Amino acid sequence: MSADNDKRVRLDVERSGALALVQDAGRLGVRHLGVTQGGAADWVSLGWANWLLGNAPDAPGLEITMGGGLTLKVGQAGTLALCGADLAATLDGEALLPGQAFAVTAGQVLKFERPVAGLRAYLAFPGGLDVAPVLGSAACTVRDGLGGLDGEGHALASGDVLTAAGNELSLRELPASAQAWQQSLTPEEGEALELALVVGAQIAEFSGDSLFRAFNRDWAVDGRADRMGVRLTGPRLERDGAGMVSEGIPLGAVQVPADGQPIILLNDRQTIGGYPRLGALTPLACAQLAQCVPGTRVRLAAVTPGQARQDHLAALAAWQA
């Protein structure tokens, strides 16, 4: 091992916590093989964490869900960056807020406890995590058994070692647009989080009353939520139509099963499905939804494909500034 490699920041996993996964932009171009996308559920926060260190926005990092006592001990000093949810993180017992790059020294302990604001935090390493890609991505999809540290889709476990891919830095401070994203992870009390949705698919088969309720009533994020999908509870939606043949499912697809309660499909979704759909959330809205704890109130807001594209390109352009 070279002297340069010896200087790469390294973390040893002392306690694995609730769910911590290696994630990048996802495994794209393989859905025709029945392989799901995977990747960071809140891709915006991963992008900003990488940006703080001068990495490419899609460099592999660590997605930490709910904290759950994840405990990492520094084996080799260096610099890390943290964005996304506030999971009551501490460094040697001192509070560590998301939205910053920070130095660590050998022997220090980084710990994540519980959600204070948001649900998923993202830890970035110089050059990204040193992980071998599988089908073009390091993204860990547990259900498919792909990616992650071992290439077989296992979540982080005690005894694992996280090593940065490089040691060169270009440290930055979050711009106002990124700070606004951080703040958006906690909706104002009494207000519902607005999720942009491009309508389409089988929307014409839903009754007029159902469509009014879909876009003019609040929904609650159900406890039955994971990286595959998030169920919303609220008014019952009704559809008049024949049975469907299964078809391809995009990120953010808003399926409505027989009970009339929408299920929004996220990164680890199945590749095909046969439930009718209202359309699909935009990628930005999917990232917002991925940070919603159970009970969060949300409201669906229809947008045009052109507006969705414009907002998406603006988010990507912010990383080039």
Q: Cα–chain-centroid distance for residue 182?
A: 13
Closest CA to 72 of 47, 45, 104, 43: 104
Share of the chain above pLDDT 90, in %: 83
- Residue 162: both structure tokens together: 């996280």
In 100-131, which positions are buried (b, 16+ CB within 10 angstroms) versus exposed (e)?
Answer: ebeebeeebbbbbbebebbbbbbbbbbbbbbb
Total number of domains constituting the chain: 2
- Residue 44: both structure tokens together: 């915006």
State which H helix or E strand residue 95 sits in: strand 94-95
Distance CA 146, CA 108 (A): 31
**Whether pLDDT at 217 is above 70:** yes
How far, in Å, are 5, 65, 218, 227, 234 from residue 44 at the CA level? Answer: 29, 15, 25, 16, 28
The confidence score (pLDDT) of residue 242 equals: 75
- Going by pLDDT thresholds of 50, 70 and 90, the confidence category of residue 47 is very high
Instruction: For 278-317, write each residue's pLDDT tens digit.
Output: 999 999 999 999 999 999 999 999 999 999 999 999 999 9
Distance CA 50, CA 205 (A): 43
- Going by pLDDT thresholds of 50, 70 and 90, the confidence category of residue 62 is very high
Are 138 and 28 in the same domain? yes
Are 163 and 230 in the same domain? no
Distance CA 251, CA 282 (A): 8
How far, in Å, are 64, 255, 270, 295 from residue 223 at the CA level? Answer: 18, 17, 20, 7
The confidence score (pLDDT) of residue 16 equals: 95
The confidence score (pLDDT) of residue 215 equals: 97
Are 29 and 157 in the same domain? yes
Are 138 and 230 in the same domain? no
Q: Which amino acid is at 123?
A: L
Residue 285 maps to which CATH number?
2.40.100.10
Indicate the pTM of the whole model. 0.95
**Domain closes at, from 117, 152, 184:** 184
Q: What is the mean pLDDT of the chain?
A: 93
- Longest Cα–Cα distance of the chain, Å, equals 67
Are 125 and 148 in the same domain? yes
Are 154 and 35 in the same domain? yes
Are 210 and 117 in the same domain? no
Q: Range of 48's domain?
A: 3-184
